[in-house]
A and B are shown apart, each in its own frame.
Chain A
Amino acid sequence: MTEKQAHVVLFALIFFLILSAAISLMIGPFGWTSPFGSMDSAHGRGIFQYRLCRVILTIAAGSSLAASGASLQALFRNPLADPHLFGISGGAALGAALVIGFLSEQGVIMPSAGAMVGGLIAFLLVFFYMQTAKGEGLGHCLLVGVLINSIAAALITLFKTILPAHKTQSLLFWLVGNISVVPLHSLMLIIPLWLMGMTILWLIKGELEILSFGVEESRLLGINASRMIKIVIFANCILIGNVVAFAGMIGFLGLVVPHLVRLTVNHNLRIVLPMAAVSGAILLVLFDCVGRLSFFFLKSEIPTGALSALFLSPLLFFLLIERVPHD
């Protein structure tokens, strides 16, 4: 696929994203409603506003996860790199778990605030390590992330055993990644953070492509590698902290979507990164629709994180088998 064709595909994907977002605005447990027809009643406006917030969060989460996955796979030159690697999500989950478990008075926004603080602390730990290691230990930086994640996981397991059942239930829902109620004012935080992270990744996508050839190679081509690595990690922390705080731990999407895109369009990172971002958003919007519709049959929504893993794993498996070079 040439670069021109790739751009056509990218525009087609953006169009498809708008289309799926529009569909998502119109369906839900309340049935099929045209958002524009129902605007005259307060009830209709409420539903529309609720769905709009939800769609915006879904788009932000899907694109953040996929773009973050693509950039980290390039940075670490490792196909298994995943947005939840740095310990950011571990820290965020722990923060949210603390709020859900031990604060009696909690609004919708409180777990998110806890997650933000937890994620920030985890990020500062990783960043502190990078400063002391002077850009030497990119691989060790992953280890620090894994370390934070496992400490967080251990503490969360501990909470699950000591907390009363109803709290464990809401904690569980949060941990599998569930996009549910997003208050309007939280968008004031979600949208700027999302735009900031995505803009950074967009601006450095060329440098990232070269970083995927290794630190030495990128220094030879004129990139201040240690600074660039910090920028990439910073952008990822913003994106992932944001997503985990408001949508919980949506797993797998960030790992799989970049692979799906790479396997289908066969292109370098500069093309794959924006395409992965848009495809991630489309997929998450669709999964969110399915999750909402599942309310009709199950009287409960299937968490988006579970749905994305359920649908994407077989798809990736199929593509991997299909695209194995036959030699």
Chain B
Amino acid sequence: MTRLDVLNLSLIRGQKMLVKDFSYCFTGGLVYALLGNNGAGKTTLLKTLAGLLTLEFNQVLIDGQDLRSMHEGERARIISFLLQHSPEQPYCTAISRITHGLMPILGFNFSPDQKSMALIEQVAQRLNIQHLLRRRLRDLSGGEQRLVHLAKCLINPNVRILLLDEPSVFLDFSQAHRLGHYLREMAHFGKIIIFASHDAAFIENYSDRAIKIGPASKHFVMASPEGVAIQ
């Protein structure tokens, strides 16, 4: 079972202290939701866990290994990240975009073979986007583009930690439902899934733990995310 330990983590953006002395142990098999006001530091926390921001000492450990000791390639093989603002590249086809998710394990110059095509088909089917595969990103709607970027994050079977920044935004109800189920199922295989969201229904229905990021040291964990909407 994968373990992600966070020890006395403080997050600073600009001059502002967002999170102070946050310690937590994320374990595989569970879906975690990060919630908090705008600018509370959800995205900064996710980016820190992904290794995008520099850390001063060993505050983030993946299965006991210091995150700082891993290089980009190593991290990319086990961590997958959905950016809040999906980057735009209008001419890229959906299928090439999804293929990018396999590049950390298969190299950057590979073309999809039968085995990887099967993976693409599988993830596309789970997210119900098979009919979009051959189309260019600029011909897709915002929600459809989001699903393509999500598929890129979910395709790599070796990933142990999934970090998703606002995964349900732009998605219609049935697509969000489909995604939520898929995330739960992936957690069952021992992956750690952490997502940041403002979508109370999505958090209530599909997460096992909700972590509220508050100003300075006032963050707390809800063992059961029920009642998030009331909060």
A272→B91 CA distance, assembly (Å): 10
A222 pairs with B76, CB closer than 8 A: yes
| B72/A219 in contact, CB under 8 A | yes
CB distance from B64 to the nearest CB of A (A): 21
* B139 sits at the interface (CB 8 A): yes
For A225-263 the 0/1 string (1 means CB < 8 A from B) is 100000000000000000000000000000000000010
Per the 8 Å Cβ criterion, residues 84-116 of B in contact with A are 87, 89, 91-93, 96, 100-101, 103-104, 107-112
Shortest A197–chain B CB gap in Å is 18
From B89, B103, B112, B138, contact of A212 by CB (8 A)? B89
Residues of B within 8 A of A206 (CB): 103, 107-110
Q: In the complex, A267→B111 CA distance in Å? A: 13
Q: Are the CB atoms of B71 and A219 closer together than 8 Å? A: no
Pair A221/B111 contact, Cβ less than 8 Å: no
Residues of A within 8 A of B195 (CB): none
| Cross-chain contact A221 with B92 (CB below 8 angstroms) | no
**B72, B74, B77, B91: the one within 8 Å of A262 (CB):** B91
CA gap between A46 and B100 in the complex, in Å: 52
Say whether chain B's binding surface is mostly helix, strand, loop, or mixed. mixed
Contact between A3 and B111, CB atoms less than 8 A apart: yes
> Chain B residues with Cβ under 8 A from A205's Cβ?
109
How far apart are A235's CB and chain B's nearest CB, in angstroms? 16
A216 interface hit (Cβ, 8 Å): yes
A-B contact count (CB 8 A): 73
Please determine whether B93 and A267 come into contact, CB atoms closer than 8 angstroms.
yes
B96 CB contact (under 8 Å) in A204, A222, A224, A268: A268
Known contacts A222-B72, A222-B75, A224-B72; A217 and B87 CB within 8 A of each other: yes
- Whether B83 sits at the interface, judged by CB under 8 Å, is yes
The answer to the question of A207 belonging to the interface, with a C-beta cut-off of 8 Å to chain B, is yes
Q: Is A150 in contact with chain B by the CB < 8 A criterion?
A: no
Contact A220 B109 (CB under 8 A): no
**When the two chains form the complex, which single residue of A203, A204, A213, A270 contacts B89, counting CB atoms closer than 8 Å?**
A213
Cβ A224 vs Cβ B100 within 8 A? no
A98 within 8 A of B: no
Q: Does the CB pair B50–A210 fall under 8 Å?
A: no
Within the complex, the shortest CB–CB distance from A214 to chain B, in Å, comes to 4
Cα(A222)–Cα(B110), bound, Å: 15
Nearest residue, chain B, Cβ from A212: B89
- Besides A222-B73, A224-B72, A270-B96, 13 more A-B contacts (Cβ < 8 Å) are A3-B111, A206-B109, A206-B110, A209-B92, A213-B87, A214-B87, A220-B81, A221-B104, A222-B77, A222-B103, A266-B93, A267-B93, A270-B109
> Which 8 pairs across A and B sit closest by C-beta, in order of nearness?
A222-B76, A206-B108, A222-B73, A213-B87, A206-B109, A222-B104, A214-B87, A268-B96
Q: List B residues at the A interface (Cβ < 8 Å).
A: 50, 52, 71-77, 79-81, 83, 87, 89, 91-93, 96, 100-101, 103-104, 107-112, 136, 138-139
Interface residues of A, Cβ cutoff 8 Å to B: 3, 77, 203-207, 209-210, 212-214, 216-217, 219-225, 262, 266-268, 270, 272, 325
